Amino acid sequence: MPSGTEIAGRVGGQRLQPSAVLELLKPVTWFPPMWAFACGAVASGAAFLDVYPLIALGILLAGPMVCGMSQAVNDWFDRHVDAINEPQRPIPSGRMPGRSGLYVAIGWTIASLLVGAALGPWGFAATVLAVVMAWIYSAPPLRLKQNGWRGNLACGMSYETLPWITATAVLSGGAPDAKVVVVAVLYGLGAHGIMTLNDFKSIEGDTRFGLRSLPVILGAERAAKVACLFMAAPQAVVVALLLACGAPLQAAMVAGVLVAQGLLMRKLLRDPRGLAPWYNGTGITLYVSGMMVSAVALSGGLP
C-alpha cells in the first residue's frame, strides 16, 4: 500500500510521489511573480482591507499556479538537457516516471485558467497570456528559449511585468495608469539580466543541445556584462521617471539600491560562472526592493 507520502496509483509501474510533483513545480521560483503581483497591488492604491481576497487569490495564481505550471512545462521539454545539466531533477532522475511530468503540466495549466477566471476579465485575460507564453517559451515549434535574447525577454515580461500590470488592473477595475505600465515594463526588461545569470549553470547542456543562451552565444564574461547592463539601465530610467513625477525620496532610494548593486556587479564580473548564484542571493534582493519602493511611489497618485 502507498504510504502517506505517495499518491495512490502508479505511473509506468512506479509510484508517483507528491514530493516529486512539488519539486517539479519549483516553489523557489514562485517568489518573483508573487512579489511583482504584490507590487502591482500596492501601485493600484487600493485599500488592502477591502480587496485582500483578490490579492491573496492573485498571489496564489501568480506563484504556485502559473509559475509552477511554467516550471513543469519547461522541465518536460527540457528533460534531455536536464539529464546532463541537472540529472537529479524529478523527470531525468525517474522520480516522475513516464509522461507524468507532461500530465502535471497540462493539469496545472487547466487549474491556472480556472483560478484566473475568478479574478474577472482582466485576470483571466492575463492568465491566458501567461499560459500561452509559458508553453511557447518551452515547447516546439516556437520554443523561445532556443535564443537567449527573446527567451529571456519573454521570461522577464511574464515574471515581472505581467503580474504587476494584472494586479493593478484587477484591483482598480480597469486599465492601469501609463506610469504603472512603464515602470512594470522597465522592471521586466531588467529581469532579462536576471534570467541570463540563471543560464550560467547550464552552459554545457545548452551547448550540446543547441540552446543559444547568452552565455553560450557571447561567452561567460560578455554575457555577464550584458546581464549587468540589462539589470542596471532600466532602474536608472525608473530613477529619472520618479524624479520627473515628483517623488524625489523614492527616486533616491531606488538610486541607492542601484549603486549597491553596482558594487556587487563589480565582484560578479571577476568570476561570472562561480559568482552568479551569489549575486542571485544578494543583488537580486536589492533589485526587488527597488520594485516595491517604486510601487509605493506610484500608489501616491503621482501627478
Instruction: Write down the domain spans for the chain.
Output: 20-299
| Collapsed DSSP state (helix, strand, coil) of residue 147 | strand
Distance, in Å, from the CA atom of 220 to the CA atom of 271, rounded to the nearest integer, reads 9
pLDDT of residue 123: 97
pLDDT of residue 126: 97
Distance, in Å, from the CA atom of 252 to the CA atom of 259, rounded to the nearest integer, reads 10
Helices (H), the chain: 18-25, 31-43, 48-60, 68-77, 79-85, 100-117, 120-138, 148-156, 162-172, 178-198, 203-208, 214-218, 220-244, 248-268, 272-299
Give the chain's radius of gyration (CA, Å). 20
Contact 299, 42 (CB under 8 A): yes
Residue with cell 485582500: 52
Name which of 84, 65, 25 is nearest 202 in CA terms: 84
Is the sign of the CA dihedral 92, 94, 96, 100 positive or negative? positive
pLDDT of residue 201: 87
pLDDT of residue 303: 55
**Could you say which residues of the chain have pLDDT below 70?**
1-15, 301-303
pLDDT digits (tens, 9 = 90+) for 160-198: 999 999 999 999 989 999 999 999 999 999 999 999 999
pLDDT of residue 301: 54
Distance, in Å, from the CA atom of 181 to the CA atom of 178, rounded to the nearest integer, reads 5
For the domain made up of 20-299, give the CATH fold: Farnesyl Diphosphate Synthase (1.10.600)
Q: Degrees (nearest 5) of the Cα angle 119, 122, 125?
A: 100
What is the grid cell recorded at 87?
540529472
Contact 229, 237 (CB under 8 A): no
pTM of the model: 0.92
Which residues lie across from 14 on neighbouring strands? 11
Name which of 167, 174, 138 is nearest 33 in CA terms: 167
pLDDT of residue 14: 62
